[in-house]
Structure 1
Amino acid sequence: MRIVAMIPARSGSKGLINKNIMNLQGKPLMSYTIEAACQCSEINAVYLNSDSRNYLEIGNKYGAKSFLRSPSFSTDTTSMKSVLEDFSAKLAHQNELYDAVIVLYPVYPLRSTRHLTNIVQVFKSKGGKKSINWFKRTKNTSISLL
C-alpha cells in the first residue's frame, strides 16, 4: 500500500500569526511533523501543502516535497476535505498515485515516527478503510483525518 503524508500549513492563521514556523527549541514548529513523517518507513512521500512559498522553502529543508496551495483553498472557511480533494486530484493528474493519504497537522511536535508507524500499521490491519476522527471546536465542528 502506497501512502502519502500531507501536512497542511496555511500561512494565514489569525489566532497566532505564523504559528507553523514559530521557533521551538531552535527549529520551526512544523519541522517536527515533517521529520517524523520523512523518517516513517510506512510513508512513501511527504508533502507540505501551503499557500506560502516561504513555508514551502522551510519544509524542503526538512525533507518535505512542496505543494503550493491555490488561494481559493487557503481561506478561513476552506474545509480540510476540499484541500484534501484538491491535493489528491493534482497528484493523480501528475500520475503520482497513492492508496491513502495521511493528514498530519503541523502543530503536534510530540508526534513521533513510532506513533506514525503504529497509526499506519493499524490502518493497514483494518484493510485500509477510511479513518476519520471527529472533534468539536468551540466555534464549529471540523473533521480531522488521520
Structure 2
Amino acid sequence: MSQTQITALIPLRGGSKSIPDKNIKTLADRPLCAWVLKAACDCDAIGSVYVSTDSDKIRQVVEGLGLPVTVIDRPQQLAQDHSSTEDVMMHFASVVPFETLVTIQATSPLLEGRDLDKALKLFEAGSYDSMLSAVRLKRFFWNDDFTPVNYDPLHRPRRQVFDGILMENGAFYVTTRRMLETSKCRLGGKTAVYEMGEHTAVEIDEPEDWVLVERVLQKRGLR
C-alpha cells in the first residue's frame, strides 16, 4: 500500500457542550486538536492529512499550527448534535480521493505517530477491510442483571494470567473506501484490532478527563 493511498481525517466540530471550544482549548502546551494532528503528520504511512470542520475559529487555529494539513468545510447539516462520524466520513469520501481512510478523534491526544505506523502495517499485512484501536482492560465486568461478562467468579483468575477484555479507546479507525461506501459504517468486513497501552483508554469528554490526560502528558514529558 503506497503512502499516497492512505489519507487521515480528523473531524473537528465547533460546538461542544461539556467543554466549550474543546477542540482548540489548550491542553498542556498546545490546542487539543494539535496533538492528534501532529501524530497523523508524524506517521510515515499517511500521505495526506485533512480536517473537516464547520468552524472558522477552528480553521484559523489549525492553519496556524504550521502543519501540512488541509482544512475542508463541513456542511452545517453534518455539524449537528445528531450528526454521526459516519456522516462526516461519507461527505469526505465524496470530495477527497483515497483508498484507505484513517479517521482520528481529537479527544484521544495520547495517540502517537508510531501507533499509526504500526497499525497501518498490520492493516496492510492482514489485508483487512477495517480496524479499530483498543485497550486491554484486566478488569472484571458485570451485566445489569448481575451476571459476569468476562470471567467465572467460581474460578477467579489471577491478573497475571487473565486475558481481560478489549475496549475501544476511540483513538482511530481505519477503513477502506470500498468498505465505507458499501456499509456506510467505519467498521465492517474483515476487521482487526490494534491494541494500545492502557493509559490511552481515556477520551476527553468531560472536564475531569481533561485534568487526567494533562497529568499523563506532563508525566510522560509531553511530546
Q: Secondary structure at the match of 2:127?
A: coil
Matches of 1:26 and 1:82 in 2, distance apart?
Answer: 32
Matches of 1:119 and 1:43 in 2, distance apart?
Answer: 11
Q: Secondary structure at the match of 1:131?
A: strand
Number of residue equivalences: 133
Unpaired stretches in structure 2, ≥5 consecutive residues = 135-169, 175-223
Structure with larger Rg:
2
Residues 71-91 of structure 1, C-alpha deviations (whole Å, 9 max, x = no match): 010001011111100011011
Task: Report what 1:105 is aligned to.
Answer: 105
Of stretches 71-80 and 118-127 in structure 1, the one that deviates more from structure 2 is 118-127
Residues 31-80 of structure 1, C-alpha deviations (whole Å, 9 max, x = no match): 01001101111001001111112212221233221011010100010111
Matches of 1:132 and 1:77 in 2, distance apart?
Answer: 22
Matches of 1:74 and 1:66 in 2, distance apart?
Answer: 15
TM-score, length-normalised on structure 2?
A: 0.56
8 A Cα contact 1:53 1:68, kept in partner: no
- Indicate the percent of aligned positions where both proteins have the same amino acid: 26
Task: Report what 2:202 is aligned to.
Answer: none
Mapping 1:1-146, distance limit 5 Å = 1=1, 2-62=5-65, 63=67, 64-91=69-96, 97-132=97-132, 145-146=173-174
Matches of 1:132 and 1:71 in 2, distance apart?
Answer: 27
Superposed CA RMSD: 1.8
User: Which amino acid in the other structure matches residue 122 of structure 2?
Assistant: V
Cα distance, 1:119 vs. partner? 1.3
TM-score, length-normalised on structure 1?
A: 0.83
Residues 87-113 of structure 1, C-alpha deviations (whole Å, 9 max, x = no match): 11011xxxxx21111100011111111
Q: Secondary structure at the match of 1:38?
A: helix
Cα distance, 1:26 vs. partner? 2.1
Matches of 2:28 and 2:130 in 1, distance apart?
Answer: 35
Matches of 1:111 and 1:119 in 2, distance apart?
Answer: 12
Unpaired stretches in structure 1, ≥5 consecutive residues = 92-96, 135-142
User: Which amino acid in the other structure matches residue 125 of structure 1?
Assistant: A
Matches of 2:113 and 2:14 in 1, distance apart?
Answer: 25
Matches of 1:133 and 1:21 in 2, distance apart?
Answer: 23
